[in-house]
Amino acid sequence: MNVSASQKQLGQLLDFLQLLRKWNRVYNLTSIDNPSDMVSLHLLDSLSILPYLKGIHVLDVGTGAGLPGLPLAMLATDKEFTLLDSNSKKIRFVRQAAIELGLSNVKVEHIRIERFEPGFGFDSILVRAFASLNDVVSETMRLLNPGGVILAQKGKLPQNEIIELDNQLIQVIPLKIPGIGVERHLVSIGIES
């Protein structure tokens, strides 16, 4: 997957999974609770987009239980992550996880994307199981810096959704994720700088 991690970072990733399993028992943060499935479907799936991040400022829209933002923040310590979600129980978990994992490069926002006004733009905007590509673009493009990218994680290639996008710089990247036997794609959507 072209991703490398130090022993400390590997420890953080495993600590994150332990926290997620612990909190999941009470808060139902994710339907995936088998440890080996959590590694492939949460950690590796999240980290598969690491090589495609641009710039310094990264926004994770609809982060849920902190995916993909928290695992990426553990490895991309040179970037500033804003993790956004409207679900209060999930945001409580994300805040606590960021504190316990010592992630000083993570800011957590409890708000809907439509109301989010950060006062600055983002170089990379991440979306995972958030909405159709057209909806993603209409909700997030205003927050994207020139030359930045929206990185949408999808399963099967969403050909119809791609056709609906007009005048966008689009790149489709097939993702190979160990332990996942289904199609995964990254749709990179940009604007000209």
Class for the domain spanning 7-190: alpha beta
pLDDT for the residue 181: 87
- As a residue count, the chain comes to 193
Instruction: Look at residue 193 and tell me whether its pLDDT is greater than 60.
Output: no
Q: How far apart are the first and last CA of the chain?
A: 28
Domain residue ranges in the chain: 7-190
pLDDT of 7-26, one tens digit each? 999 999 999 999 999 999 99
| 69 half-sphere exposure, CB direction, 13 A CA radius | 33
In eight-state DSSP terms, residue 22 is: H
**Residue 123 φ then ψ, to 5°:** -90, -30
pLDDT (tens digit per residue) in 22-79: 999 999 899 998 888 899 999 999 999 999 999 999 999 999 999 999 999 999 999 9
pLDDT score recorded for residue 192: 63
Nearest-angstrom CA–CA distance, 68 and 160: 25
Q: What's the whole-number average pLDDT of the chain?
A: 94
Q: Is the pLDDT score of 103 beyond 60?
A: yes
Q: How far is CA 32 from the centre of its chain?
A: 17
Model pTM greater than 0.85?
A: yes
Lowest mean pLDDT among 21-35, 84-98, 160-174: 160-174
Which is higher by pLDDT, 64 or 129?
64
Distances (CA, A) of 35 to 18, 25, 78: 9, 13, 29
Q: Is the pLDDT of residue 132 over 70?
A: yes
